[in-house]
Amino acid sequence: MIETVLDILSWALLCLGGAFVLIGGIGALRLPGFYTRLHAASLTDTMATILVFSGLILQAGFSLASLKLIAIMLFLLLTGPTASYALANAALQSGMEPDADRLGGKASGGAG
């Protein structure tokens, strides 16, 4: 009984994580401009890491594999946002301005 519940819970987490990765991918392809794309990819990626690894830990149960999964999750949670920050920072340093006006104009233009 408890195994079935755990299985369903872990699969729900895994599927939700996969959905987040998919949304992030669509966002990285569809959004205008560098910073918005980075925003889409990085935030969903962090959320997906937590969800997918929680699902995998539930699958692995109380074992050495779970410990290793937790270690990998911590590593990814540290490095992923750092890499996104470094990327955005490097873009800003090299003179790429976040172009809020153009995005606003485009959105209102689309509405009109």
Partner 1 sequence: MIIVFGLFLLSLLVITALAIVRTENLFVAVMLTSIFSLLMAANFFILDAADVALTEAAVGAGITTVIFLGALALTAEREKPSSAGWRFPLLVVAVLATLIIYATFDKPRLGDPEAPVHQHLAPWYLEKTPEYMDFPNVVTAVLGSFRGYDTLGEVFVVFVACIGVLFILGVKPQAGAEPEIEDRAGLRHHLIPQVVGRILIPFIILFGLYVQFHGEYGPGGGFQAGALIATGVILYALLEGEAAALRAVPRPVLLALVVGGATLYGGVGVACILLGGNFLDYSVLSADPVVGQQMGILLIEAGVGMAVCGALLSIFHAFAARRIRL
Binding site for partner 1 (CB under 8 A): 75, 78-79, 82, 85-86, 89
Quick one: 75 or 107, whose CB is closer to partner 1?
A: 75
At closest approach, how far in Å is the CB of 89 from partner 1? 6
Quick one: 47 or 87, whose CB is closer to partner 1?
A: 87
Nearest to 52 by CA among 60, 40, 62: 60
Question: DSSP per residue over 16-27, as a string?
Answer: HHHHHHHHHHHH
Quick one: 63 or 82, whose CB is closer to partner 1?
A: 82
Q: In sequence order, what are the residues at sequence separation of 6 or more whose Cβ sits closer than 8 angstroms to the Cβ of residue 69?
A: 53, 56, 57, 60
At closest approach, how far in Å is the CB of 43 from partner 1? 16
At closest approach, how far in Å is the CB of 71 from partner 1? 9
Quick one: 83 or 100, whose CB is closer to partner 1?
A: 83
Pairwise CA distance, residues 21 & 34, whole Å: 18
At closest approach, how far in Å is the CB of 75 from partner 1? 8
Terminal Cα-to-Cα distance of the chain (whole angstroms): 56
